[in-house]
Every structure is written in C-alpha cells, then in structure tokens.
Structure 1
Amino acid sequence: MSQKAIIFDLDGVIVDTAKFHFLAWKKLANDLGFDFTKEQNEELKGVSRVDSLKKILNWGNKELSEEEFNRQMQLKNENYLSYVNEMDKGEVLPGVQKVLDYLEENNIPYALGSASKNARHILEKIDLKDGFSAIVDGTDVSKAKPDPEVFLIAAEKLNVAPQKCIVFEDSVAGVQAANKGEMTSIGIGEEKTLQEADYIFNDFTEISIEFLKNLLQK
C-alpha cells in the first residue's frame, strides 16, 4: 500500500484545552464588565485568538484601543498558559493513546496541524511531542482554518500527498479545511455540528483499530 499519514488537530482532539480557553476568556470578559457563556465559547472553536477577542468584545458591546486590545490578548494568553502549565499526561483524551500506539507500531507517520501557538509547549507537557514526525502550529501559518494551509504544510513536511492524509478534527472550520485540502476528514464530536466530515465519532474510544487499519489501506 502507498504510504498514508495522519494529521491531528490538538484542542478537543488530543487534549481538551477548550476548558482552559473558556476560563481565560471568561476572566477577560468579567474583568471588562460582562459575562461569557459556554455556548459562546463553542462558537470560538477553531477561530484565531485575534478574531475570538473581536467576537467577545462585540458580544459585550465593548470597544478597545489597539493598545488595550493587544494588552488584553496577552493577558488572556498568560491566564491560559497558567492552566496549561499544570497539564500532564493525564490530560490526554481517552482512546487517543491507543491510536498513537497503533500508528507507531506500524510506522505510520503522524503530524500535528493546530491553530494554537502553544501547541509545542502543550505536547511537551503531556509527553507526546517526540512521536510526531512534524508539528505545524499557529506560529507557522498565515491563514486560519477553514483555509487548508496548516494541513497542507503538515502534508508537505510529512512528504505525503494531501490526498493520502487523514485528518482528525473537532471544529467545523477544521473539517472544512481538511476537505478543501482534499484530505479524508474525521470529525471528533457531535454529528449535527460536524456533518461535513467524511466520518464522525463522538470520541476516540469509538474508533476501532480495525476501522483505522481499513482506512489506512484504502
């Protein structure tokens, strides 16, 4: 079989840092005098930090100077990182390790394709960094998902054609990016949200090794 490869998103796929983003954004909103809900946080999945803050300010009917905007972005990231720094291997989502072990045992290369600028740091904290053949994060790209740039760069680094790549994603924008890149998309999360994905699972515990094997041999 010709070589296939896997590309993973990070947040909501390998680990759930969404809860840390939520707490950090909530603190920012509260400090600025308004509330921020979990429902609103869902709408920020896959959205860049700058665009997320713009959305939140819009929800709170708040305008900031450019200087204050940048200061708030930095504060949010510092708060987020304080949570991230407490992470360890126990934060890896159920079922993920089983898939990674299978890929390593069968010499199938895998990469990270994440919008997060903290991706490398997070992978170090959860002790998974060394297994990845390539890591592409927010510091390597200029275009946000649903643009496929992050996945196309990952495919290039893996030296595998985009059509031979399988992408695990939990956001609509991420699934759209994989599809635009002509890759196989696997949505992790709710079916009603991720219906554009080629395959959908609630989480990695639902993914059998048999399914993975068949997909890699297709």
Structure 2
Amino acid sequence: MINTMIFDFNGTMFFDGKIQKESWGEFLKEEFKRTMTESEFEKHVAGRNNRDTLEYYAERKISDEELEVLTNKKEQIYCDMCLSRPKEFHLVDGLTDFLNVCLKNGIKLNIATASERPNVEFFFEHLDLEKWFNIESVSLNDSKLPGKPAPDMFLRAIDNVDSIPRDSAIFEDSVSGIQAANGANAEKVILVEDPDLTVVNMPTNLRVDEVIQDYFCFIETLTKRK
C-alpha cells in the first residue's frame, strides 16, 4: 500500500507556469537577448535545474560563480512576480486539505524540486510549507545530484523519509519529471495539469497512472481508506 507522497513543487503544488514563463522570458531577453519558445520551455526549462537551462541558452559551459550570479538574477525576477500576484501565489486547490488528511493518516510527505535552497526557503516562508514538510528532508538542487530526468532527486526524497519507491506516489507536471518518476520506479505516477496552460505533450512511452488538476479526489480516497 502506498504510504508516501512525493511532490515536485513548481507546477505541481503551485501552479506557477505563467509566472515561470514570464520570469524566464524577461530574464532571457535581458541577459541573452533570446526569446523563449513554448517547445524550449517544455524541453529546457520545465523541470530542469538552472545549470542545464542556462548552459543551453549560453551555448557553453558556465562556472559555478557565473551560475550563482545568473540564478540570483532570474530568481529575483521570479520571486518579485510571485509576491506581486497574491491571487495566483497559493497552493493548488485541495492540496492543503489533502496534506492535512495525509498527516492524520500517517502518510509520509516530501518534496523533490529542481529549485535551489533559497527558492525552497522562499516557498516555505510564504506558503507555510513547514506545516507538512521538513525543509531539511527536501530533495533540492544542491549540485550534488543530476537533475531530472535522472531519477536521483526522487530517490533521495523517498530515502530521506525512510521509504521505498514501491510504497511511493510521485506527483509531477513536466516531461522530464515524469521521466524521472518512471526511472525511480515509483508505485504510482500522477501527472498534475494546470487547467490554465496548454496540455503538456507527454511521450506515449512514459507511464502516467492518473491525471489530475486538483487534489480533492485524493482526499476522498484517503478518507475511505481510513
């Protein structure tokens, strides 16, 4: 029986696709004089860590120092946009209730995100994530593991809460994230879709067990299980 829920964050717990696209678009125009296409967003931005994305647009390897500078510039734009849009800056519908029910039922919870520590701290501060998650257990981009589509970040998130893949469900929104969830051999892979965005073109060879746009259905399922 599944007793562990692992979430990607951006686009899965918080529908920030529009903000992500706008902030990346603004940053790339300023820094690289480039215009990001929808295809590039899906392949080189969504679910990817910043190094992968920045090296794609820079068309070269970048140093750790340059990575930090560029990341800080981009994330400042993103955070400012989040705070300026309180009607958009909130957890996905039904998620808070779902997380509360998970805790009541002894379900283990964790996050596996391509975001760096400062961004994770930003989300914990402004979205009260400490109610359900331990920030020290979160699997984040610390440059020690390969980013998605490699499964390593999910495997670490699962291990950090003393669980195993066959007892885990993974919630994702991107192609690279679903690839990583498949590679981790999770018991269940759930695709979370933002109803305000274009449906992701998911390769047919990837396993997706369920598609959702909110978390209300899982509240009913856990309540019945109890």
Give the TM-score, by structure 2 length.
0.77
**8 A contact 2:55–2:61 mirrored in 1:** no
Distance (Å, rounded) in 1 between the aligned partners of 2:66 and 2:141:
22
Aligned to 1:33: 33
1:100 corresponding residue in structure 2: 99
In the TM superposition, what whole-angstrom CA distance separates every residue of 1:110-156 from its partner, at most 9, and x where no partner exists? 11111111123213211122311532211274210111111111111
For residue 101 of structure 2, give the secondary structure of its aligned residue in structure 1: helix
1:121–1:146: structure 2 CA closer, same or farther, 3 Å change rule?
Answer: same
- In 2, Cα distance between the equivalents of 1:116 and 1:28? 16
Residues in 1 aligned to 2:160 and 2:67: alpha-carbon distance in whole angstroms: 34
Structure 2 match to 1:130: 131
Residue matched to 1:185: 189
Question: 1:173 aligned to 159, 172, 176, which one?
Answer: 176
Deviation at 1:69, TM superposition (A): 6.7
Identity of aligned residues (%): 23
Q: How far, CA to CA, are the matches of 1:191 and 1:36 in structure 2? A: 16
Letter of the 1:91 counterpart? H
Distance in 1 separating the partners of 2:125 and 2:203: 29
1:82 aligned onto 2:83 = no
| Conservation of the 8 A alpha-carbon contact between 2:48 and 2:147 | yes
State TM-score, norm by structure 1. Answer: 0.80
Mapped contact 1:111–1:158 kept (Cα < 8 A): yes
Alpha-carbon distance change, 140 to 8 in structure 1, aligned in 2, over 3 angstroms: farther
| Matching of residues 142-153 of structure 1 within 5 Å | 142-153=145-156
Deviation sequence 1:190-211 (CA, Å, 0-9, x none): 4752652332324125634344
For residues 38 and 112 of structure 2, the distance between their equivalents in structure 1, rounded to whole angstroms, comes to: 25
**In 2: Cα distance, 1:174 partner to 1:105 partner:** 28
Amino acid at match of 1:36: M
Distance in 2 (alpha carbons) for counterparts of 1:78 and 1:191: 27
SS of the residue 1:111 aligns to: strand
> Is the Cα contact below 8 Å between 1:191 and 1:200 reproduced in 2?
no
8 Å contact kept, 1:28–1:72: no
Unaligned runs of 5+ in 1: none
2:79 alignment partner, SS class:
helix
**Matched residue, 1:91:** 90
Unaligned runs of 5+ in 2: 194-198
Q: Shift of residue 52 of structure 1?
A: 1.1
The answer to whether the Cα contact below 8 Å between 1:94 and 1:205 also exists between their aligned partners in 2 is yes
**Distance in 2 of aligned mates of 1:15 and 1:194:** 23
* Letter in structure 2 aligned against 1:200: E
* Between 37-46 and 64-73, the greater mean CA deviation after superposition: 64-73
Residue among 202, 214, 217 paired with 1:207:
217
1:78 is displaced (CA, Å) by 2.2
Q: 1:211 to 1:24 in 2, by over 3 A?
A: same
**Structure 2 counterpart of 1:97, which letter?**
T
**Distance (whole Å) between structure 2 residues aligned to residue 7 and residue 64 of structure 1:** 31
User: What amino acid does structure 2 have at the position aligned with 1:193?
Assistant: M
Deviation string 1:59-98 (CA, Å, 9 cap, x unpaired) is xxxx798676764343212222323455769511112123
How many residues are treated as equivalent by the alignment?
211
Q: 2:184 corresponds to which letter in structure 1? A: G
